[in-house]
Structure 1
Amino acid sequence: MMIPNASSTLAQWLAYLEAAHPVTIDMGLTRVSAVKAAMQLDTDFPVVLIGGTNGKGSVAAMLSTILNRAGFKVGTYTSPHINDYNERVAIDLQPASDSLLIAGFVAVEQARAEVGVSLSYFEVGTLAAMHCFIAQQVDVAVLEVGLGGRLDATNAFDADVSVVVSVDIDHQAFLGNDRESIGFEKAGIYRSGKPAICADPNPPASLLAHAEAIGARLACVGRDYSYSRMDHQWSFRMGERALHALPVPALRGGYQMGNAAAALAVLEALRPRLPVSLGAIKRGLLEVEWPGRFQVLPGRPVTVLDVGHNPHAARALSASLRQLAFAENRYAVFSMLADKDLDAVVEILRDDIDHWYVGGLDGPRSQTGAEIAEKLAAHGLRNIHVFPKVEDAWHSALSHATENDRITVFGSFHTVAAVMAARTQSA
């Protein structure tokens, strides 16, 4: 296989990285830590590590936006992307340039060859992101955990503050089949003597025990910090610190206030190094953007985009949909990957959807529209319409929906990405 170089395109690099490692997910820190050491990726800026079954991207977005509005230069690493790989690595909320990413990939490849190991697509991306942040001399790096925590590539970096946003069932093949097993894996991002935030209101005993065993400075929602809602504002309290008259976050969904409180708990832990004014907090909450997370598009019919793909996310989506205005007909444009718990997701959302428009996705873990429709029918659902591609399902749903209806696009990052692309092409 031809190894790209500094003059190769980003597309060539990404194609190489996708094919270079024998398995897509290869958890463990030995290889990535060896390459990190060879690259001398030493940081003199604070690092925040954010894990959780759901909500970690939203917390990263709010935290990064607030820090940016406070005047700090922020590096943000998230995954997966929706449209372009560049979205994963942001400098001051803007996607990194191709040239900056390629420089990072070149540095990783040189060190990888020197060490003599193979790295996965995500491992290379993680190391390249930190290379970009160091090159850009950021004031703070915000890293979203890819999968789990303890053995995730992001955990090769020692975090100054670590957050577990939520713990629920997902990725059972890698993390375990119950919340206790998964909680232990996610608690693996906590560090001895460092601030550790838990935003799950019902933390697994395994998470609490691990934090205590390593001497992490654990702060739990409801115990060590809290938030209270009012009509059009809310308050946050942590220790002696109280913030009042905070604006409702720009990100839609009832769960986002809990995510915002987690971001403020991180800011409280960072305050000795990165002091942030109340004005910057308010601006960040009002101006944060995070596409595809209960994103309500302008216009009629009402269209909701949500990347949720597990039962925990489905419950949040159902609760948020029920807070919207009445819709005469409720359409779903839906597709899920084969390794996700489609049955549980469908059972949670079955009463929120009248018409199911399903289509296939591209990729090795995808299912055909017919396979998905068969599973929906097994749940006793009716009004199922099958299409070869999600894009086709979207166009058909849009042609049938009236201005008094609602279309909800959900089930996967890939589902939302396909519809976003289809909307752009038809605009």
Structure 2
Amino acid sequence: MPTSSASLPEWLAHLESLHPKAINLGLERVSAVKDRLGIAFDCPVVVVGGTNGKGSTCAMLESMLRQAGYRVGLYTSPHLLHFNERARIDGDMASDAALVEQFAAVEAARGDISLTYFEFTTLAILRLFAQAGLDAVILEVGLGGRLDAVNVIDADVAIVTSVDLDHQEYLGDTREKIGFEKAGIFRAGRPAICSDPVPPKSLIEHAEAIGADLWLVGRDFNYSGDKQQWNYGGRGQRRNALGYPALRGANQLLNACAALAALEVLRLRLPVGAQEVRNGLVMVDWPGRFQVLPGRPTVVLDVAHNPHAAATLAQNLDNMGFHRFTYAVFGAMQDKDIDGVIAHLKGRIDHWCLTDLPLPRAAFAEEIKQKLLAAGVVTGEGADAESTIACFTTPVEAYENALNRADENDRIVVFGSFLTVAGVMEAQSKKN
């Protein structure tokens, strides 16, 4: 048990040791502690799940609401550089002191109930938001939906952004099984928004079975546009002449549509004007999601770590225009479909800089190299080789190697696990 003067890092180290499993899906333990803490919200709550795109959707929704003057709490995970990133109030990260206070409250309330790191920190941040006098709360699902700790809160609006294969050991090995898990955040009689263009039948059937108000992209809301601007159309609201979101990438209009559909269903409780929507989309910031850094060579940061996200990353790279060579800094967890990620990107990468990662479940760079070779990626020798594979012990070493070899007309893509992107971001921040 940390002392009353324990720091945030000391608390986080303590939380990592509380439960024998990193992931232990189920709501009984979390619900019991939530009830003891008396966590409740008197403002609209939006819960956002999905395989990919949920963080971007949360960020756009937060940005538009804040432009309208609302005080918003945003919970997301995982973080890139600092744990505090997970809890934002009115655009600012929660302070160490605020988080430590909530950790102490959860520790006191849980008694003999064992909580995972994610469950404990989720409860702490929910209590922080409940006490903060907010106008709106946005909660990103951690894993799946039905049994995720965030699902102890009944959402006023639930969004599922996309459904694809990831975390199969917990959620199932088909889109239908995973779709059912994602749909677990829907509630009877409340809006349930899905921006996946081809939603699994299981998601639709579950929404109908519980009597949720299902909004499907292409049926209940959609978008149209040209190279200059785009338009949103919902059941009873249109948003015209919108600028493209500041977040780059092929799927961002689908994510923006989902956020605008949520604003449409909340328009009587949280009205947001046309100019506030435009400003929110233009000013949104969400690091690590097809983030292009200024300068030369071109550097792209993207936390694409499953085949669906890799396919989107590949499309986004194709849309960037010509680069002489593309270098990849890539590291991933062993339980991810690394072969599926490679299949989408191998034809777009010339030089692979593979990295180990500081977690026991991470794949070694040498393991990823063998997968690349098995996929037919050719590696040459010497400085003039047009295709290479090199292995490194840290993301920073891999990135420095790519930087040293690339010229101003080349491109470096840092992708895979959050830890890969975070390692490079931390190195960049120290330089700046």
TM superposition score category, shorter chain reference? over 0.9
Tell me which amino acid in the other structure corresponds to 1:84. H
Q: Give me the TM-score of the superposition, normalised by structure 2.
A: 0.97
* TM-aligned CA deviation for residue 43 of structure 1: 1.1
Counterpart secondary structure, 1:90: strand
Unmatched tracts of structure 1, length 5 or more: none
**How far has the Cα of 1:229 moved from its partner?**
2.2
Aligned to 1:287: 283
1:410 to 400, 409, 415: 415
Structure 1 residue 426: Cα displacement: 3.3
The two structures, once aligned, show a CA RMSD in angstroms of 0.8
Provide Cα deviations, 1:229-256, integer angstroms capped at 9, x if missing partner: 2111100011221110001000000110
CA distance in 2, matches of 1:299, 1:229: 30
- Pairwise CA distance, 1:389: 1.6
Deviations 1:256-277 (A, max 9, x none): 0110010000001111111111
Q: What 5-or-longer segments of structure 2 have no aligned partner?
A: 379-387
The match for 2:383 is none
Letter in 1 for 2:136: V
Q: 1:46 aligns with which of 41, 44, 47?
A: 44
Where does 1:10-409 land on structure 2 (aligned, <5 Å)?
Answer: 10-113=8-111, 116-382=112-378, 383-409=388-414
Q: Deviations over 1:115-152 (max 9, x none)?
A: x2100111111111111112211111100000000000
Contact 1:50 / 1:164 at 8 angstroms: preserved in 2?
Answer: yes
**Distance (Å, rounded) in 2 between the aligned partners of 1:206 and 1:294:** 30
In 1: Cα distance, 2:241 partner to 2:13 partner = 48
CA contact (8 A) 1:296 1:304 kept: yes
Q: Which amino acid aligns with 2:426?
A: A
Shift, 1:368, TM fit: 2.1
Which letter maps to 1:316?
A: T
SS of the residue corresponding to residue 185 of structure 2 reads coil
Q: Is the 8 A contact 1:183 1:207 kept in 2?
A: yes
CA deviation profile, 1:154-200 (whole Å, cap 9, x unmatched) = 00001000000000000000000000000000000000000110100
Q: Which amino acid aligns with 1:181?
A: K
Question: Is 1:6–1:102's contact at 8 Å kept on the other side of the alignment?
Answer: no
> What are the superposed Cα offsets for residues 335-365 of structure 1, whole Å, 9 maximum, x if unpaired?
1111100001001111111110111110121
Partner of 1:422: 427
| AA of the residue aligned to 1:384 | I
Calculate percent identity across the aligned residue pairs: 54
Q: What SS does structure 2 have at the residue aligned with 1:20?
A: coil
Residue deviations 1:59-105, cap 9 Å, x none? 00000011011100000000000000000000012111001111111
Following the alignment from structure 1 to structure 2, what is the Cα–Cα distance between the partners of residues 5 and 29? 29
Q: CA deviation at 1:311?
A: 0.5
Distance in 1 between the 2:56 and 2:431 partners? 29
| Residue identity in the other structure for 1:414 | L
CA distance in 1, matches of 2:360, 2:270: 43
Give the AA of the match of 2:68: A
Counterpart-to-counterpart distance in 2, 1:131 and 1:179:
33
Q: Partners of 1:271 and 1:125 in 2: how far apart?
A: 31
Separation in 2 of the partners of 1:129 and 1:240? 35
User: 1:5 Cα shift?
Assistant: 3.9
Question: Offset of 1:425 from its aligned partner?
Answer: 2.7
**Alignment: residue pair count:** 423
Distance 1:256 1:101 in 2: 31
The runs of at least 4 consecutive aligned structure 1 residues that moved more than 4 Å come to none
1:5 and 1:69, CA in 2 relative to 1: closer, same or farther beyond 3 A? Answer: farther
